[in-house]
Amino acid sequence: GATIGILGGGQLGRMLALAAANLGLKSHIFCPDPHSPAFDVAAARTVAEYDDETALRAFAEAVDVVTYEFENVPARTAEVVAASRPLHPGARALATAQDRLAEKTFAAELGIPTAPFRAVASEAELARALGELGAPAILKTRRFGYDGKGQVRIEPGMAAGEAWAHLGGAPAILEGFVAFSREISIVAARGRDGAFAAYEPCWNEHRNGILDVTRLPAGLPSAAERAAVDAAQAIAEALDYVGVIAVEMFVVGEGERASVAVNEIAPRVHNSGHWTIEGAETSQFEQHVRAICGWPLGSTARRGRIEMRNLIGAEIEAWSEILAQPGAHLHHYGKAKARPGRKMGHVTVVAPEGT
Ligand code: ATP
Ligand code: MG
Ligand code: MG
């Protein structure tokens, strides 16, 4: 059978490998950390750094198609792999999603609303941008931030120098604060043939900068839901995207006046899509495998009312109580150390519609 190559060995790679196995495929995981949760379920592994070009070439030659489960794959790594095997999503999607400035500029060029933003490369530029956008505002590193790390909220009256010092001088973006009523994401897939299939909008709540709960249905007004799906499709098409994509968005306003603004693009399967394993006809992981292999996309239909809850840090210790709850689907990522803020597992409950 065919083998898919996955760059990155976290829980997303693990769930991708499980879905691939179900479709008769083998997975070969490439990751520098020998304790990666994806290794437990993979047919083959390479433990090497992402700049080890010899190891990357051998990995690519051992597989049929390559994908990744984190967006910080270095550009050179993607280039080396793509020289010998198809890489999905492609280098353009990766480059755009890695850099918050490129990402927001790209969305704005498509006519998709975002928070107002300015590029900031020095304390003086931050002071000027703050004068233009006003406070509150959020200063974020352009690259490498996740789970709310690498960002600082600037309150009215806070000095530019203080905020700038927080990020240690890394190239940054200043975003005007969006007074959102809710946060949602669109998880969708685009096939090699251009077919596009979105799941319904996911309603996401964060705690300490980390996704806490995802619920469906989100109950969005139909115009806002359409705008959200259209934005995700326009982004996927403009990137000539292949695979599952997630687009995080803010909902601004309520009822028929609600609108959406794009926050960030994840060029991969996404935490807010974990509910699809039990709650949709096709899981996001299977959908991604179908897309990168050039196979038909599956149905994204939802099977009930959904609540997906992350198990962060010590919350995983309650796993046996969770197992005792009827209808609770536990996913334990098998990570050895439950550090605070670390995603250790998740639990999904699918309730019958109308209950
Ligand atoms: P992730 O873990 O989803 O990749 P991240 O660290 O890359 O997150 P963002 O998604 O940009 O960071 O921001 C984290 C959270 O901070 C958002 O989900 C939202 O709650 C809040 N936030 C970010 N930007 C803004 C903004 N411009 N206005 C208001 N709230 C914001
Ligand atoms: Mg992010
Ligand atoms: Mg985010």
- Reported confidence tier of residue 104, pLDDT bands at 50, 70, 90: very high
Q: Is the pLDDT of residue 302 over 90?
A: yes
What's the confidence (pLDDT) of residue 1? 76
Q: How far is the CA of 62 from the centre of ligand 1 (A)?
A: 38
Nearest partner of 28 among 54, 86, 67, judged by Cα: 67
Q: What H or E segment, with its residue span, contains residue 175?
A: strand 172-176
Q: Is the pLDDT of residue 163 over 90?
A: yes
Q: Is the pLDDT of residue 82 over 80?
A: yes
Q: How far is the CA of 296 from the centre of ligand 1 (A)?
A: 33
Q: Per-residue pLDDT averaged across 311-316, rounded?
A: 97
- Residue 248 and residue 241: Cα distance in Å, rounded? 17
Q: Which atom of ligand 1 is nearest to the CA of 147?
A: 2
Pairing of strands 305-312, 343-351: antiparallel
- Reported confidence tier of residue 9, pLDDT bands at 50, 70, 90: very high
Q: Per-residue pLDDT averaged across 160-184, rounded?
A: 95
Q: Is the pLDDT of residue 354 over 90?
A: no
Q: Is the pLDDT of residue 233 over 80?
A: yes
Best probe residue, ligand 1, of 183, 263, 270, 271 (max atoms within 8 Å of C-beta): 263
**Ligand number nearest to the C-alpha of 184:** 1
CATH topology identical between 3-87 and 116-176: no
- Residue 172 and residue 120: Cα distance in Å, rounded? 5
Query: Domain ranges in the chain?
Result: 3-87, 116-176, 182-351
Q: Is the pLDDT of residue 269 over 80?
A: yes
What's the confidence (pLDDT) of residue 355? 75
Q: Which atom of ligand 1 is nearest to the CA of 148?
A: 6
Residue 226, ligand 1, Cβ within 6 A: no
Residue 70, ligand 1, Cβ within 6 A: no
Helix (H, G, I), strand (E, B) or coil at 164: helix
Q: Is 100 annotated as a binding residue?
A: yes
Annotation: CATH topology of 3-87? Rossmann fold (3.40.50)
Q: Is the pLDDT of residue 43 over 90?
A: yes
54 CB-near residues (< 8 Å, 6+ apart) = none
CATH 3.30.1490.20 matches 116-176: yes
| CATH annotation of 182-351 | 3.30.470.20
What's the confidence (pLDDT) of residue 138? 97
Q: Which atom of ligand 1 is nearest to the CA of 175?
A: 27
Claim: this prediction has a pTM higher than 0.95: yes
What's the confidence (pLDDT) of residue 230? 98
Q: 211-222 pLDDT, tens per residue? A: 999 999 999 999
Residue 206, ligand 1, Cβ within 6 A: yes
Q: Per-residue pLDDT averaged across 154-178, rounded?
A: 94
Q: Per-residue pLDDT averaged across 8-14, rounded?
A: 98
The per-residue pLDDT of the chain, averaged, comes to 97
Q: Which atom of ligand 1 is nearest to the CA of 266?
A: 4
Q: How far is the CA of 181 from the centre of ligand 1 (A)?
A: 14
Q: How far is the CA of 264 from the centre of ligand 2 (A)?
A: 6
Q: Per-residue pLDDT averaged across 297-307, rounded?
A: 98
168 CB-near residues (< 8 Å, 6+ apart) = none
Residue 136, ligand 1, Cβ within 6 A: no
Sheet of 172-176: strand order equals 117-120, 172-176, 137-141, 151-154
Assign 3-class secondary structure to 79-145. Answer: HHHHCCCCECCCHHHHHHHHCHHHHHHHHHHCCCCECCEEEECCHHHHHHHHHHHCCCEEEEECCCC
Residue 263, ligand 1, Cβ within 6 A: yes
Q: Per-residue pLDDT averaged across 281-288, rounded?
A: 98
